[in-house]
């Protein structure tokens, strides 16, 4: 009881520390996750009873320089009838390790399992190494709805998995502008526009402003994407995607997305639906 009484007194007081020298300490929590191993000679098979959703997380061992991107591909078979080709584009992970083996950042895709019992087989297709690491969860896909830009330079038709997705081109001279009513969570996907012959790493920045005030600043490392292209702009190649988010407060807001460097970028805007 006396210890509790002393603690309550201490929490109610102001603590003065002298001298006032401070440092910032980053705390990292060690966490282990279980992954299945997929190789050229050993497919991974799972049996699932639907209807449900399965999210498949993937990583690959990383060799060579830490910068740049790597492409890997696998095949998803359903009941030996349907077949889908999955292409993933990833980067080096500074936090994930398998013993002393460096790994890529995780990438994921969803399986929409219909009613009844189904067998899915994942097959190694084309990978820089012999191994793909797989983790399966019962996550539902997030519900996001596209938002049209109010003003932009040009609309870009991005082709991804045989689907056409609208991106809005932002240039230093003509920023993309959207108007949105909160409260909402806004997701922004950006891709730097590169020449088809561009090599190596490119840096670009985007600043978000509202009424002239900077709301958010970002900086990304970009490389030519090998998985998507623009249908209506053969003279430019989209980079790998980069995501960032804005928590939109209550009321109507108009945001400007300004390119700080680079020629132009494509932007896709989405809001989280409930």
Going by pLDDT thresholds of 50, 70 and 90, the confidence category of residue 188 is very high
pLDDT for position 145: 92
Going by pLDDT thresholds of 50, 70 and 90, the confidence category of residue 137 is very high
- How do residues 155-187 score in pLDDT, each as one tens digit? 999 998 778 999 999 999 999 999 999 999 999
Q: Which helix (H) or strand (E) holds 188?
A: strand 176-194
Domains belonging to the chain, first-starting first, are 36-137 (2.60.120), 144-272 (2.60.120)
Q: Are 266 and 238 in contact (CB under 8 A)?
A: yes
Average pLDDT for 23-41: 71
For residue 194, pLDDT over 50 is answered with: yes
pLDDT for position 52: 92
SS3 201: coil
pLDDT for position 157: 95
Residue among 123, 124, 132, 73 nearest 104 (CA): 132
> Is this prediction's pTM over 0.85?
no
pLDDT for position 151: 96
pLDDT for position 8: 33
The rounded percent of the chain whose pLDDT value lies above 90 is 59
pLDDT for position 60: 96
Q: Which residues contact 274 (CB under 8 A, 6 or more apart)?
A: 143
């Amino acid at each position: 009881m006396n210890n509790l009484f002393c603690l309550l007194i201490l929490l109610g007081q102001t603590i003065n520390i002298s001298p006032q020298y401070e440092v910032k300490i980053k705390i990292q929590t060690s966490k282990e996750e279980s992954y299945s191993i997929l190789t050229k000679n050993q497919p991974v098979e799972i049996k699932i009873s639907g209807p449900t959703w399965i999210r498949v997380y993937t990583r690959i061992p990383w060799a060579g320089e830490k910068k740049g991107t790597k492409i890997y591909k696998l095949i998803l078979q359903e009941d030996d009838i349907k077949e889908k080709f999955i292409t993933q584009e990833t980067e080096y992970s500074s936090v994930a390790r398998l013993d002393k083996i460096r790994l890529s950042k995780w990438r994921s895709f969803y399986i929409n399992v219909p009613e009844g019992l189904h067998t899915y087989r994942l097959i190694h297709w084309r990978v820089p190494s012999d191994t793909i690491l797989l983790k399966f969860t019962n996550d539902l896909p997030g519900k996001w709805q596209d938002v049209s830009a109010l003003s932009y330079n040009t609309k870009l038709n991005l082709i991804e998995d045989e689907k056409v997705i609208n991106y809005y081109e932002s240039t230093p001279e003509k920023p993309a502008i959207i108007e949105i009513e909160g409260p909402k969570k806004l997701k922004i996907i950006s891709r730097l526009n590169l020449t088809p012959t561009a090599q190596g790493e490119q840096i670009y920045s985007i600043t978000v402003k509202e009424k002239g005030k900077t709301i958010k600043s970002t900086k990304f490392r970009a490389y030519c994407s090998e998985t998507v292209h623009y249908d209506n702009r053969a003279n430019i190649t989209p980079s790998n995607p980069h995501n960032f988010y804005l928590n939109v407060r209550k009321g109507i807001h108009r945001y400007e997305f300004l390119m700080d460097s680079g020629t132009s970028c494509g932007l896709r805007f989405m809001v989280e639906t409930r």
